[in-house]
Structure 1
Amino acid sequence: MGAYDSELTRVAAEARAALIRQIDREGAWRTDPVWRETFAEVPRHLFVPYYYVGVVGGYERYAADDPDPAGRERWARGAYADAPLATRLHDGELVSSSSQPSLMARMLVALGVRDGDRVLEVGTGTGYNAALLAHRLGDDSLVTTVDMEPEITEPARQHLAGAGYHPVVVTGDGAHGVPAHAPYDRIMATCMLPTVPRPWIAQCAPGARIIAPLNNGLLALDVDGSGRAEGRFLPTGAYFVPLRGESRAPAEPVSTRGLPGRARDQESFRFLLGLLRGALEPTRAYALWESVGMPDRDRYGVTVSGPRAWAWLDDPEGRHAWPLP
């Protein structure tokens, strides 16, 4: 290893330590500190040999193979920014990324992984999250990760192997799950969903938990022995690349035209509009939102029972409930 390679390794280690301290201050893993050790041990920079940073008029590429030593150092430090990193673009559209580390930490803590759990990750991305899961469980065979295209899964498999991890990496439509490795005790999605895919419920063991982004929120569902899944949104907002395939998330936001200015400025109201997806006309949705105290995300939840799925406010059997696809 050359002198500069040693320096780059030092820079990456320094940046990783700074990221851990930052997430410490936010308290993301206070209730499950094993994740602190996991993030400290798994090197994110090995999973993002290049990434794109938004600039005026497009994106700038940061890469480990930058011929300029200063560029390589910039890449190593940026790999540990507490920010999502764009890793794949298609015609200017972001189709894959490495999620924000502090958000990943909150999702992994909420997932409640226990020793021996079998975990399905939907949305392989760079492979970094699968590596975190494999490291935490200490058994690569317990982790299955799926993504839509070999252009994503093959590099992820290489990144994982380079970091010393060998979970099961599957190319396929994540909305269908991976029945060959079911049942799962935990399912975690790192892509935005329009609803909860029913095959996931069928592939869950009794007592399983699902953490998934839905409508720019994080939904935590618990699955009982009858196959009914129910749970609430976490307070944390979440913005992910949409699930691709048969169950693509809606691309267009619901219009707030004609509503009071404060409605357009309130994230909690926009969350309700997205959850309704046309079940209520926007002015009626606004009246409801005001009348029930302008609720934040964690007052909403979702239930999946057989073929039915519905979102609700405060009570799954209450008066404020709306069908999901």
Structure 2
Amino acid sequence: MGGRAANHSGYDEHLDGLAASARAALVREIELSGAWADDPVWREAFEAVPRHLFVPYYYVPAVGVTGGYERRWGEHPDPAARERWLRGAYADTPLATRLRDGELVSSSSQPSLMAMMLAALEIADGHRVLEIGAGTGYNAALLAHRLGDDDLVTTVDLEPEITESARRHLAAAGHRPVVVTGDGARGVPERAPYDRIIATCSLPAVPRAWLAQCRPGGGILTPFATGLLVLTVQDARHAEGRFLHTPAYFVPLRGGERSEPGVPGLGGVPRRARSDDLFRFLLALTRGSLDPQEAYALWEREGAPRRERYGVTVSGEHAWAWLDDPEGPYVWSLPA
């Protein structure tokens, strides 16, 4: 930190020790959350991969400045500021890593959410994995560590600055998965087929290219409508699956439409429903098919259904969301 001269002061050693203890505390916190209860092998990956190498700087809301951000960075001349940066790097929170005109365009996801998503992928030794949204490279490093073979992991992002910095961070951590600059919605066909595809950005539809690049029986995990959708791929044109229980809000793919835009026409919907996360999820999932009053009537009738009761089916050129059963009675068409 701050050049080689810092070694003579002993401050690098201090930060190394602080990083080790902070990482251990983060691992304990994730353990207590139950995020990897179904696949505890991920504990070793989070113990081994140093998150601070992937966030050499990040932004936190500035105190007393509405909409403003303060930059924290590991090369700050003030030792106390460097320490704040390092402690923040191991907090179980998402970190804003890129801003454009005051808008968040890239981030490092909350580690416990990352752990839950990785465990839900049900990765096995030898699996080939495609990550949509390279971000800082941290998630790709966790995947590479778990699989023990960097070449099994491919990560793609549209922006060259993001992929270049991800490569640097990965190399600093001792990993070299394949990092591709390109449109994540198109996948990376030259590296296919994949056993698993995981997206770390939200999008309004499941790209058919992902199905075509995934082996039959493979899995896709993607943010969708403020939730996390886990699909099992039957073949290049068919997939089906349900949502995990947790809410999830991600930066949109290619800076496109956000997962949860403002919903107009909520008149007649009780205040308690308007602010309820599960009702907002139903609104996001059925946007264009149900108006808010219809959604509220269904939500009340079905006892405020949890995310796990919802699912999505992709069949050829058609896709639809459903509650409880893909055959109905509650089904809603989705964008192709």
Q: Shorter-chain-normalised TM-score: which range?
A: over 0.9
1:15 corresponds in structure 2 to 22
Q: Residue 229 of structure 1 aligns to a residue in which SS?
A: strand
- Cα distance, 1:78–1:240 mapped onto 2, change above 3 Å: same
Give the fraction of aligned pairs with identical amino acids, expressed as a percent.
68
2:138 equivalent to 1:128: yes
Match of 1:305 in 2: 315
Aligned residue identity for 1:13: A
Q: CA separation of 1:6/1:99 partners in 2, compared to 1, >3 Å: closer, same or farther? A: same
* Contact preservation (8 Å) 1:206, 1:227: no
Distance 2:37 2:107 in 1: 26
Aligned residue in 1 for 2:261:
252
Q: How does 1:85-100 map to 2 (within 5 A)?
A: 85-100=95-110
Report the equivalent of 2:82.
72
- Cα displacement string for residues 119-145 of structure 1 (whole angstroms, at most 9, x for unaligned residues): 000010000000000010011111000
2:321–2:334: 8 Å Cα contact kept in structure 1? yes
Provide the rounded CA distance (Å) in 1 between the counterparts of 2:187 and 2:200: 13
- Say which of 45, 50, 63 aligns to 2:52: 45
Shift of 1:226: 6.2
* Matched-pair contact (CA < 8 Å) for 1:256–1:264: no
1:122 touches 1:145 (CA, 8 Å); kept in 2?
yes
| Aligned counterpart, 2:3 | none
Structure 1 residue 296, shift from structure 2 partner: 1.1
2: CA distance, partners of 1:17 / 1:234: 27
Q: Which residue of 2 aligns with 1:4?
A: 11
Is 2:132–2:156's contact at 8 Å kept on the other side of the alignment?
yes
Helix, strand or coil for the counterpart of 1:237?
coil
* 4+ residue segments displaced more than 4 Å: 247-251
Aligned pairs (5 A) from 1:161-240: 161-225=171-235, 227-240=237-250
Q: Distance in 1 between matches of 2:202 and 2:291?
A: 23
- Give the Cα–Cα distance (whole angstroms) in 2 for the partners of residues 4 and 84 of structure 1: 27
Q: Which runs of 5+ in 2 are unaligned?
A: 1-6
Amino acid at match of 1:304: V
In 1, distance between residues paired with 2:145 and 2:237?
29
Partners of 1:23 and 1:282 in 2: CA distance: 36
Please tell me whether residue 32 in structure 1 is matched to residue 20 in structure 2.
Answer: no
Contact 1:253-1:274 at 8 Å conserved across structures? no
Gaps of 5+ in 1: none
Structure 1 residue 229: Cα displacement:
0.6
**What is the RMSD of the two structures over their aligned residues, measured on CA atoms?**
1.3
SS in 1 for 2:246: strand
Give distance in 1, aligned partners of 2:321 and 2:17: 48
Paired residue total = 324
Structure 2 partner of 1:60: 70
Alignment-mate amino acid for residue 260 of structure 1: P
